[in-house]
Structure 1
Amino acid sequence: WYYASQSDRESQIRTPITDGAYGKHWVFRYKDLWNWWGNTHVNRPGGIEAGSATEWVPQSKPVWFTEIGCPAVDKGTNEPNKFIDVKSSESGAPHFSSGRPDDLIQRRYLQAVHQFWDPANPEYVAGNNPLSTVYGGPMVDPDNLHVWSWDARPWPDFPARGSLWADAGNWRLGHWVNGRLGAVPLRELVERLLADYGFADFDAAGLVGVVDGIVIDRIMSARDVLQPLAQAFFFDPCEEGMTISFRHRSAAQMIDLSPDAIVAAGAGGESDVAVARSQETDLPLSLKLQYIDGNADYRRGSAESRKLSGNSARVASMNLPLVMGQSDAQRIADSLLQEIWAGRERLRLSFPPSRLAASPGDVINWQANGTSQKFRIESIEDGADRPVEAMRIESGIYQQLTGPERAIAVPPPAALGPPLTEFLDLPLLSGNETAHAVRIAAFADPWPGGVAIYRSPSSTGFVWDSLADAPAVIGESDADFFAGPAGRWDRGNALFVTLYGGTLQSHDDLAVLAGANVAAIRNGAGIWEVFQFAEAELIGPNQYKLSRLLRGQAGTEMAMASPVLAGARFVLLDGAVMPSGMGAEQRGLPLNWRYGPAGRPIDDFTYQTKAYTPQGVGLRPFSPVHVRAVRDPSSFDLTISWVRRTRIGGDSWAQTEVPLGEASERYEIDIRDGGQTIRTLQCDTPQIVYTAAQQNADFAGGAPVSPLSIAVYQISESYGRGSAREVTLYV
């Protein structure tokens, strides 16, 4: 059928579509899929059927819906192909549409199409989609119902980024399902909530609307959970027998009533009716609505409705734990404020027993003195009379049009590049680190959320190593950095650094001695000096002057140079510096390291490869200190002694001796002449005798030898020689 004219459309007069020539009515009914699919096709050149049919074989192939969709606008199903686009000559709203956004009608359309055609759907009616006698499948292939439109542009960037996409303004009333499929129909949400609370006898079938989200952040009753939904969607629960029914205020049952149809108050037979009106000063001039803005990263949003005139100065506020857009919030605020002002008039009367069917939520159409006013029943008392209290309503309050969405400033997506990554072979700092593992510091701006690190002994076959999940504080020195004293405060030197990102801060001496402000700087030979600083003075954009220093910490005094030239890499050794996941067996092996943004594949252009051989410096013994020599005046034998240091657990003042930190205590002492090692002595105690005979064999002048250059090493079974203590002895 079709509508022959606009008046027929308005009167719902349907004219059948018929074929007067051959009686094949389906030929002119382009939605009659059953006959198009199930019959032979005969062309009609000039309106006359050809002598033979086309090559089409009835039921030979399934029908695909390459595009099904409905605009998210009021009464969109009247003309699902219509779209609203001010830039298009074909723009237009569906028949009888108010132009108000309606996400629910779009959802119901898609549900109806799938329920009708998909035999696997619980709501499917047998016979809707017949099976083919040729290929054995359904007429319409339910796996090929293609919805228009799921846009490849990600929501909410589309439609929020209107400056980038010219059609962004069409999304609100358009066919797009992006940003809508995550919502849930109000009826289904209320039914699920009631079921979760153990209710079984309820009727929510009349509820319409779509809810983007609701927050239930604590234990609360079912009534408290449903109340914000009832306020936002203007529905009321009422008890009808043993069932709880939910009805929108705009769809309430209407009761026509006049003064002569209510219970008389006294012997005179006069009806007992009272209409009360609140003062304007008791009513709010404006209403502020707080909500969760789903279009702005779920931040708190606010909408305000204000009367243009009135003598009140009051402001009402309401906080709804619901996710919605700004336009919906504004519509709700407008309706709530108008409802409050309409409800300033209240009606009190008594129903006769014949009005037993009336219940709270019903609307009284009160006809008196030649006028008609509507009042919604709020309460009814059962008794001989049925006293009723009702508040006045206006029928148009709940049909507010939705205004435009507030424009949201969306920052452009970050353009990620290769991260800066440093590999630091450091001694143990706290003693809890993995001793053999190199430490990794990564920085990028913008930060990609994490930097993934892979390793391989070759150029292929990379395996996962670790994840740097926070940006490290990395920079470079602005001036030469000179050597200073170790083991006490260095008040003479200062380090000037420029950071690529992050900040530094000062700490008092006790905090520094307890482990605060640990950093590392790399010298020209690629060796890191670990130091601490107490004072960090900001002297320019990202520029700091670091002073009151503790130098050569954790046995790295040999890395101090005079000077470390400007441009040296600086790294703050905080929690952002992560240990590698390498095994102890990989220490000393040349490895290729590949790193880049964690969200990108390893072959992405943002990944970089660096060759680095970790030595496991955390296993290296510290150099001994306080090297002394005493010569026997009679034999010229030289007794050399020193004090051992430990790389593990040596900071407690309660210890009488620091832990050994190695499997056994062993040392090697190199005797040097002109920079060349001419003899190596070995011992297992922190002293050794360099005999006169050995001196005579090593030096042309013989004993006594003075000055004498030596280097003392502590030996580790896992690492080998530790750091050297090089001294020249004058004895």
Structure 2
Amino acid sequence: MATLVLGTVGRALGGPIGGLMGTFLGGSLDRAILGSGKAREGARLGNLAVQSSAYGEPLPRVYGCVRVAGNLIWTAGIAETATTSGGGKRGGARTTSYSYSASFAVALSARAVVRVARVWADGKLLRDAGGAWLTPVTMRLHSGGEGQGADPLIAAAEGGGCPAYRGLAYAVFEDLPLADYGNRIPNLTFEVVADEGAVDAGGVAVDLGDGVLQAAGVFPAFEGFVAARGGAAREPLAQLARLFDLRFTDDGARLVMRAGAGAAATIADADLGSVAAGSDTKTARSETRAAAAALDDAVAIGFLDPARDYQAGLQRASRRGGGGRTGQIDAPVVLAADDAKRLAADVLARGLAARTTAALRLPWRALGVRAGDRVMSGWAVRRWSFGDFVVTLDAERLPLRAAGSGVADPGRSHDAGDAAPGPTTLAVLDLPPLFDGGGTTPRLWIAAAGASPGWRRTGIAFSADDGDSYAMAGEVGAASAIGVLAEPLPTGCDDRWDRASAVVVQLGDMWLESRSEAAVLAGANLAVIGDEIVQFGDAMALGGGRFRLSNLLRARRGTMVAAHAAGTCFVLLDATRLLAVDPPAELLGRTIRVRATGAGDAATPPVVLTLGGAALRPLAPVFLAGRTEGEDIVFTWRRRSRAGFAWLDGNDASLGEAREAYRVTLASGGIVRRTADTDAPEWRYPAAARAADGLADGAAVTLTVAQIGELTGPGAPASATFILA
């Protein structure tokens, strides 16, 4: 059953204006426009980046171009699709995998919009500026017109109870795949365009006032604005008024808004004089200057920066370098960083000038003066009142000059741009146990990275029937450091720190860092080069994605030290970035295919390999030795365990196998003379056997020993040469 989340709210800005007097900044605005005034909220920048589905959540009004998250207003729930694979021409187990998708609607604006440009999912670009989807998506935009009809998908799910959401702009997504988002509906944000081009403060204020507010004069323009709070228009109007010096007055019929001080009002010099003795009307002028300590020493403007994909920005202006008080204005207005810094300087200058106020008592002849008018060359009326045939004006001083232009550094943020996800680079690693003990099934480690800036993540599927069918194995959600050797790495020592060798690797945009020797011994900076697992202590950046790695530990985790040519694959083994895949043991020795299923991987070929089961193969024994006992020669060795690599004093490593068994091969002159199995780490070679093998004293023989695994047979061998005596 589909679910309606009717969390929209209507406009709450109606009602007659009544007898509104005074100015906006000075106090009483009509309650129908600015709310009751009994409870107020401080200025804040609404969180426009987080999608909500809360019931009753207020919806924003979008002006111009801005990025919003909106409100989830309808969903059909998450749909599950089962896919069965396997059992192809080679047989094998059938595997059922599951994928998930969702259909839902997101409200964007409580007023009509023109279009939606870019779309982000969990902060990653999903649709570029040209309107192209970077992954397959079906989205319909309902622009919010008063005549719009119901969405067909919602109507099919809801039947006769489907709302059309007239006057509400919203987007409907149909069967959005959720694999890239952890099988949940992602946090979607939208670049919404509501009047193409800039908007001005006057037009925004008139719309918020629902017809009871009139704008007069020329107003500053900006790229976008979001009235993101529900209820009265007090907060959004207050934000705009403080930013752009908007002043309000009553013309007798409606509220009038101007940018800056209004027209100059003429007051006779005689009316500005001192008190006239014996007159029925007293005239007076007095000035008050507030203490400097009561003023802000700096002003910070919080805004939305279009140069950084509408992320929140902050610009600041200060009048002196001390650590004084800072006033802050947070407004969901889209501004360039330079404009925000200039506005901060303007607000600071106005506050400094307004510390000086004047009180005027004038005769009735000054009834034509209104709040917002300029008087006395450089003053603006804040409040106006009339009683007992006396006009009382409260005025504030205006700044002598504009603060001028601002030059600001907007900062920067990581941005993948409009690049498509691009193909995946896969490394499929058949390695000994890495981060835990030996298991009972084969294990592959999958590392992935992107070949383009837009790469994010990829699903992993594998096939055991030559590509006839694929089964989903999981997802790689973070890129690994994958590269190649830029220079050859010679063989080296495997029983101590190799401080003589170094290797240069070429990576993409990943980074390697140095770690202490103690951290390396604890497991840090583990990497695989070809089939050899190594660790490195020092990583020196050479530029261009190249790093010189030194202070090496070679042949780690039971691998063998070897020389590696330039171009050999290098992968940093970070458990948080790798996907572990455990194929069934029945696939040992068979060819499998592993492919990426990310958005840009339609043409990416699979990785083909033979499943060798390195995680199950016993490690090569060590310390091969021989001794004589009477006429017999006894060869001995020490086993190693794939079940753990910790060196625990006083304890033998666990066997890691169902039983202890070894395969012994004795060769001389390139010819195998004898093969035997033993269940102990020693093998007795009697004199009679030597004679039968045609070996006399002084002959050179090569002994090869391999531990036998339950599933893989003989593991990695160890060899040593002895002279018979």
TM-score bucket (shorter structure) = 0.5 to 0.7
Alignment of 1:301-450 (within 5 A): 319-322=328-331, 323-326=333-336, 329=340, 336=347, 343=354, 346-349=357-360, 363=371, 375-377=380-382, 389-391=394-396, 413-414=418-419, 418-431=423-436, 436-450=442-456
Determine helix, strand or coil for the equivalent of 1:476: strand
Q: Which residue in the other structure is 2:709 paired with? A: 716
Structure 2 CA distance, aligned partners of 1:348 and 1:278? 12
Q: Which residue in the other structure is 2:570 paired with? A: 570
Deviation by residue 1:464-485 (Cα, 9 ceiling, x = unmatched): 3344444433443355433333
Conserved in 2, the CA contact under 8 Å of 1:257 and 1:366? no
Tell me the amino acid that sits aligned with residue 433 of structure 2.
L
C-alpha displacement at 1:623, in angstroms?
A: 1.1
Structure 2 CA distance, aligned partners of 1:609 and 1:179? 47
Conserved in 1, the CA contact under 8 Å of 2:379 and 2:395? no
C-alpha displacement at 1:265, in angstroms?
A: 10
Tell me the amino acid that sits aligned with residue 687 of structure 1.
E
Alignment of 1:511-590 (within 5 A): 511-522=519-530, 528-537=531-540, 542-557=545-560, 560-561=561-562, 563-575=563-575, 578-585=578-585, 586-590=587-591
TM-score, scaled relative to structure 2: 0.55
TM-score, scaled relative to structure 1: 0.55
Q: Which of the residues 477, 489, 493 maps onto 1:485?
A: 493
C-alpha displacement at 1:625, in angstroms?
A: 0.9
Tell me the amino acid that sits aligned with residue 624 of structure 1.
P
Tell me the amino acid that sits aligned with residue 287 of structure 2.
A
Tell me the amino acid that sits aligned with residue 473 of structure 2.
D
Structure 2 CA distance, aligned partners of 1:506 and 1:108? 52
Unaligned runs of at least 5 residues, structure 2:
1-62, 66-108, 116-142, 152-163, 170-192, 216-220, 405-409
Conserved in 2, the CA contact under 8 Å of 1:104 and 1:210? no
Determine helix, strand or coil for the equivalent of 1:617: coil
Q: Which residue in the other structure is 1:151 paired with? A: none
Deviation by residue 1:193-241 (Cα, 9 ceiling, x = unmatched): xxxxxxxxxx996499999567999xxxx99998645523656899xxx
C-alpha displacement at 1:531, in angstroms?
A: 1.9
Conserved in 1, the CA contact under 8 Å of 2:64 and 2:196? no
Conserved in 2, the CA contact under 8 Å of 1:665 and 1:685? yes
Tell me the amino acid that sits aligned with residue 291 of structure 1.
F
Q: Which residue in the other structure is 1:729 paired with? A: 722
Conserved in 2, the CA contact under 8 Å of 1:232 and 1:332? yes
Aligned identity (percent) is 25
Conserved in 2, the CA contact under 8 Å of 1:533 and 1:546? yes
Structure 2 CA distance, aligned partners of 1:571 and 1:716? 28
| Structure with greater helix percent | 1
Deviation by residue 1:396-444 (Cα, 9 ceiling, x = unmatched): x9xx9xxxxx9x9999744765444322211123326977322233344
Deviation by residue 1:25-79 (Cα, 9 ceiling, x = unmatched): xxxxxxxxxxxxxxxxxxxxxxxxxxxxxxxxxxxxxxxxxxxxxx979xxxxxx
Conserved in 1, the CA contact under 8 Å of 2:619 and 2:640? yes
Q: Does 1:456 align with 2:463?
A: yes
Structure 2 CA distance for partners of 1:677 and 1:186, relative to 1, 3 Å: farther
Deviation by residue 1:93-152 (Cα, 9 ceiling, x = unmatched): xxxxxxxxxx9998699xxx976646889xxxxxxxxxxxxxxxxxxxx9999x9xxxxx
Structure 2 CA distance, aligned partners of 1:515 and 1:381? 82
| Structure with greater strand percent | 2
Structure 2 CA distance for partners of 1:427 and 1:233, relative to 1, 3 Å: same
Conserved in 1, the CA contact under 8 Å of 2:247 and 2:257? yes
Structure 1 CA distance, aligned partners of 2:297 and 2:259? 24
Of structures 1 and 2, the larger Rg is shown by 1
Tell me the amino acid that sits aligned with residue 694 of structure 2.
A
Q: Does 1:684 align with 2:679?
A: yes
C-alpha displacement at 1:657, in angstroms?
A: 1.4
Structure 2 CA distance, aligned partners of 1:114 and 1:232? 29
Structure 2 CA distance, aligned partners of 1:72 and 1:545? 51
Determine helix, strand or coil for the equivalent of 2:623: strand
Deviation by residue 1:370-412 (Cα, 9 ceiling, x = unmatched): x8998544598999x9986343679xx9xx9xxxxx9x99997
Structure 1 CA distance, aligned partners of 2:644 and 2:297? 71
Alignment of 1:46-65 (within 5 A): none
Q: Which of the residues 628, 636, 640 maps onto 2:635?
A: 640
Conserved in 1, the CA contact under 8 Å of 2:111 and 2:144? no
Q: How many residues align?
A: 524
C-alpha displacement at 1:486, in angstroms?
A: 2.0
Structure 1 CA distance, aligned partners of 2:387 and 2:655? 91
Q: Which residue in the other structure is 1:40 paired with? A: none
Tell me the amino acid that sits aligned with residue 552 of structure 2.
L
Determine helix, strand or coil for the equivalent of 1:608: coil
Structure 2 CA distance for partners of 1:372 and 1:706, relative to 1, 3 Å: closer
Structure 2 CA distance, aligned partners of 1:328 and 1:540? 37
C-alpha displacement at 1:669, in angstroms?
A: 2.0
C-alpha displacement at 1:646, in angstroms?
A: 1.3
Conserved in 1, the CA contact under 8 Å of 2:435 and 2:575? no
C-alpha displacement at 1:724, in angstroms?
A: 0.9
Tell me the amino acid that sits aligned with residue 321 of structure 1.
D
Q: Which residue in the other structure is 2:308 paired with? A: 296
Structure 2 CA distance for partners of 1:501 and 1:333, relative to 1, 3 Å: closer
RMSD, aligned α-carbons:
6.3
Q: Does 1:465 align with 2:460?
A: no
Structure 2 CA distance for partners of 1:379 and 1:629, relative to 1, 3 Å: farther
Structure 2 CA distance for partners of 1:564 and 1:324, relative to 1, 3 Å: closer
Deviation by residue 1:578-604 (Cα, 9 ceiling, x = unmatched): 1343433444431222237x333x42x
Determine helix, strand or coil for the equivalent of 1:664: coil
C-alpha displacement at 1:645, in angstroms?
A: 1.1
Conserved in 1, the CA contact under 8 Å of 2:261 and 2:374? no
Deviation by residue 1:613-644 (Cα, 9 ceiling, x = unmatched): 232312221111112222322xx333222112
